[in-house]
Structure 1
Amino acid sequence: MSSSRMILQAKPPLLPPAAGETERLEMRVHERMEALEAAWRALERDPSVSMHQGYDWCSAWVRAHPGLRLALVEGRAGGRTVMILPLVIARRRGSHVAGYIGSAYSNINGGLFDPAARIDPDALGNGIRQALKGRADLMVLERVPLQWRERLSPLAYLSHTENQNRAFQVPLFQSFEDTLRQVNAKRRRKKFRLQQRRLEEAGGYLVIDTLEPAEQHALLDEFFRQKAERFKAQGLPDVFADAPVRAFFHALLDAPRDDADYPLRLHALRLKEDGGPILAVTGTSRKGDHVICQFGSIRDDLLPEASPGEFLFWYVIEQACHEGASIFDFGIGDQNYKRSWCTVETVHYDVLVPITLLGHLSAGIHRLAVRAVAEIKARPRLYGALQRLRQRRTAAGASEPETGEEPA
């Protein structure tokens, strides 16, 4: 039986911890990652910890962006590290804001918490404020699911506002056929066969699935090229243009990996098997049984009728099933191709902890800005008009670059 019903993971009910069961929490702040590496890697083994707060991911970002002002908040209880918030402090709207490292290119951001720790919500909020006092006016943790992998985040007890974007996932089964049954298997197979026929009529195709480092780096450069062309055609700023951002993604390709954990892996669809043009590229990460699509690109000028990006996703999702993953995550951003695959829609929140009077003011502005964007996106005509205005401003050289991009 197939179903297109979206399962909404909304704000979970918050039940206070049982009295007398919490541990005394001591906070420390570190400015270098190396001091926390052992404890960090121990905490990130937990399946609920996002790849995006993993040590290798954050380290790659820090190395690619020298001069960052880090504030790595460590919480200790009972002589052991029970939490780490990997933060960087930057200037935003006139105030100093602490946020997750590399958060413009991440989602499912939950921090690192020991699941066995009994953390008092008040102690957590007060500890963060004391730790960041004199360093930041406000802590903003963006795109945090309050509940993930059936576990309530300790961050859920802190002040938060719903983020304007949601993430989309499809549960995976070892049988690809069982996975397809969730998303109207008959219609999807028919569409896949049509795409396949169009590719074969154009001379055939090859799905590139190499792990050879040089080829992986070459595919990443091809993604950057395709994405730059697409942004230019749309009149939008290229969020992958900066050299440090590109260096970061290249560094992820060189990070340690195994079959169940890899920071970045590229797949591509090539037209013909004799070195023809690459029609589409996608990049995924995996941590345990969770596969995240980080980005994707297509050639707009070649075989758009074959939907090469969607065709490539079929292969990547099928492979994830065979390799034992249980979640394929398309990440942040509401787009039709994501809804065509996904049965789970995850609500994200921005966690706000003001530290100074200016921070309280900045938190209020952040809430208003998020609500305004959400209202605009809920009105397609207004959203389209603003997108066209942004395109004209970009063409005239007046637009500021965005801080992130929906991985599609």
Structure 2
Amino acid sequence: MTTTIEPARRCDHASPAAASWSVTVAPDLAEAGKAWQALEADAVFSAYQRHDWCAAFLATIGAGATPCLAVVGDADGQPQGLLPLAITDEHGLAVAGFIGGKHCNFGMGLWRAAFAASLTAADLDAILDSVARQAPRRIDLFRLASQPACWDGLANPFRLLPHLPAASDGYHLRLGADAEAVLAGAVSPAARRKLRKKERALAAHGPVELTKARTSDEIDRFTDSFLALKATRCRAQGITDAFAVAGARAFIVDGATGPAGGVPPAITLFALTVAGEPVAVFGGAAARGRFSGMFTAVTSGPLARHSPGEILLHKVVRACCDDGLDTFDLGVGRARYKASLCAGTDALFDQYVAVTWRGQAAAAALGAAVRLKRQVKDSARLWPIVEAFRRARARLA
């Protein structure tokens, strides 16, 4: 296989010679379930690598993909890592990527820390080679996108292989027991006073409440509200609606319903309502003390001038503090509302590992596209032009 982009860079941790390891590729979640469950108990991973989140995605939006779940075991056969991948057809290529695609803000494996720290670049290249050889179908290219350089104190082992910065980074906020102190440290006093004034103005139209969806009726209602608000906002902004795809509604509903037995659902829905009507909806996923925002949508009607989206986010942060979580993030991509609340940055990288000659050509093209996209987003002159073009295109449409 051929990795592309730039010379490998090693993380700043000791890298002793790895113990022997093995790779077993499971073709479905049931076969990988036991190892997955064991790793969720003590491995490092994001909410997007939870078994239940991946199961909800593969059963709905990702129903056409081929699961490729690589369990990495140690010399004793005990699972030490898992790469939750799926293979999709894209323009004649068979591409393996993290389950969730564009809906997965952070792509990574589940890793036990000591084992991950022992891996070398040669080990990782050999692991991917083994995955390609055992995969349930041909793989032309591994597209391992939006990988955190470090996560929950663990240096991502795949940083050892050639990679390039992702088009956008992630944004997070450190939480604490005192929600008001957290918000005071993140948002200026003037901005908080302004937001309180807006909430009072919003309350003039009816009681303002934050509701966390728990019943099936609330899940259905908030999901439908989100999809409608999202579609309207995307049309106005001239951007593609990632949720205007088959299975999107079922993905949210299934993920938010969750399994029986008191296990937290894969997706949590919040809605800010005015006189009982949702004016902003926020969905996210939690794992290992971190709540990761997946999606949000806000009304485009007259109440939009009162910033219901920002009011909702502040209330969700308070709810996360009350639940004892330690980190809150707003996913990938730049936006004013993210910068105004989340001071922390999660550096992300993309990785393209070619398996066939078809994959080699695609890796070069994809790498160039990501570089260009990041340059445009970093440009104070070019990015506003792109946004203005999108709005103009939306008005014409």
Query: Considering the TM-score relative to the shorter chain, is it more than 0.5?
Result: yes
Cα distance in structure 1, aligned partners of 2:382 and 2:226 = 31
1:241 aligns with 2:241: no
Gaps of 5+ in 1: 1-10, 398-408
Please tell me whether the aligned partners of residues 142 and 349 of structure 1 are also in contact (alpha carbons under 8 angstroms): yes
Question: Could you tell me which residue of structure 2 aligns to residue 112 of structure 1?
Answer: 110
- In structure 2, what is the Cα distance between the partners aligned to 1:54 and 1:136? 24
Identity %: 27
**1:304-324, Cα deviation, whole Å (9 max, x unpaired):** 221011011111101111110
What one-letter code is carried by the residue in structure 2 that aligns with 1:54?
R
Structure 1 contact 261–287 (Cα < 8 Å) conserved: no
CA drift of 1:267 comes to 1.5
Q: Is residue 122 of structure 2 the alignment partner of residue 129 of structure 1?
A: no
Q: Deviations over 1:115-152 (max 9, x none)?
A: 23233331221221232147212111110012111211
Alignment of 1:177-326 (within 5 A): 177-256=180-259, 261-272=264-275, 275=276, 277-326=277-326
Deviations 1:178-222 (A, max 9, x none): 212322452243123211221133333232234222212211111
Evaluate the alpha carbon distance shift between residue 15 and residue 313 of structure 1 in structure 2; reply closer, same or farther with a 3 A threshold: closer
Alignment of 1:92-107 (within 5 A): 92-107=90-105
Which ranges of structure 2 fall in alignment gaps of 5 or more residues? 1-7
Contact 2:71 2:79 in 1 (8 A): yes
Name the CA distance, whole Å, in 1 between partners of 2:15 and 2:119. Answer: 11
TM-score norm. by structure 1 comes to 0.86
Displacement of 1:237 after TM fit? 3.0
Q: Is the 8 A contact 1:158 1:353 kept in 2?
A: no
The answer on whether the counterparts of 1:182 and 1:343 sit within 8 Å (CA) in structure 2 is no
State which of 27, 32, 55 in structure 1 corresponds to 2:28: 32
- Residue 46 (structure 1) aligns with: 42
- Looking at structure 1, the residues matched to 59 and 324 of structure 2 have their Cα atoms a distance apart, in angstroms, of 32
SS at match of 1:44: helix
What displacement does 1:260 show?
Answer: 8.8
Contact 1:269–1:312, Cα closer than 8 Å, also in 2: yes
Partners of 1:89 and 1:99 within 8 A in 2 = yes
What residue is the counterpart of 1:83 in the other structure?
Answer: 81
Pick closer, same or farther for the CA change 1:263–1:122 going to 2, 3 Å.
Answer: same
User: CA RMSD for the aligned pairs?
Assistant: 2.5
Counterpart of 1:284 in 2: which secondary structure? strand
Moved more, 27-36 or 112-121: 112-121
CA distance in 1, matches of 2:307, 2:160: 43
Render the CA deviation track for 1:270-319: whole Å, top value 9, x for unaligned.
222xx4x3211111221131011111111111222210110111111011
Secondary structure in 2 matching 1:330: strand
Number of residues paired by the alignment? 383
Q: What is the CA–CA distance in structure 2 between the aligned matches of 1:101 and 1:386, rounded to whole Å? A: 29
Compare 87-96 and 103-112 and name the one that shifted more: 87-96
Contact conserved, 1:261 with 1:288, CA < 8 A, in 2? no
Q: Which residue of 1 aligns with 2:4?
A: none
* Counterpart secondary structure, 2:168: strand
Matched residues in 1 for 2:15 and 2:203: separation?
Answer: 62
Q: Say whether the 8 Å CA contact 1:138–1:352 is kept in structure 2.
A: yes
TM-fit CA distance, 1:389: 4.6
